[in-house]
Amino acid sequence: MKPTPIILIGLRAAGKTTLGRELAEGLQVAFQDLDDLALTQSGATSVAEVFAQSGEPAWRRAEQEAFALWLASPSAVLACGGGAPCIPEVRVSMQGSGACVVYLHAGVDALVARRERQDQDRPALFGAGGLREEVVRTYAERDPIFRDLARHIVEVDGQKSNDSLSSLRTIFREECLGEGPTM
Amino acid at 18: T
Is residue 183 a part of any domain in this protein?
A: no
Contact present, 26 and 6 (Cβ < 8 Å): no
pLDDT at 181: 65
Is residue 164 a part of any domain in this protein?
A: yes
- How would you list the strands of the sheet with 77-79, edge to edge? 31-33, 77-79, 6-9, 100-105, 152-155
Is residue 115 a part of any domain in this protein?
A: yes
Is residue 48 a part of any domain in this protein?
A: yes
Average pLDDT, the chain: 88
Dump pLDDT digits (tens) for 127-163. Answer: 556 888 989 999 999 999 999 999 999 999 876 778 8
Is residue 92 a part of any domain in this protein?
A: yes
Domain that holds residue 26: 6-176
User: How confident is the model over 5-27, as a mean pLDDT?
Assistant: 94
Is residue 60 a part of any domain in this protein?
A: yes
Q: Which residue has the higher pLDDT, 87 or 1?
A: 87
Q: What pTM did the predictor assign?
A: 0.91
Dump pLDDT digits (tens) for 54-107. Answer: 888 999 999 999 999 999 998 899 999 889 999 999 999 999 999 999 999 999
Check pLDDT > 80 for residue 183. no
State how far the alpha carbon of 14 is from the alpha carbons of 50, 102, 118, 128, in Å: 22, 12, 11, 22
DSSP code of residue 168: H
pLDDT at 128: 53
Q: Which residue has the higher pLDDT, 81 or 118?
A: 81
The domain tally of the chain equals 1
Is residue 21 a part of any domain in this protein?
A: yes
pLDDT at 123: 52
pLDDT at 127: 54
User: How confident is the model over 154-173, as a mean pLDDT?
Assistant: 88
pLDDT at 102: 97
Q: What's the CATH number where 93 sits?
A: 3.40.50.300
Contact present, 100 and 171 (Cβ < 8 Å): yes
The CA-to-CA distance between both ends of the chain, in Å, stands at: 23
Is residue 34 a part of any domain in this protein?
A: yes
Residue-wise over 86-110: b if at least 16 C-beta within 10 A, else e? bbeebbebbeebebbbbbbbbebeb
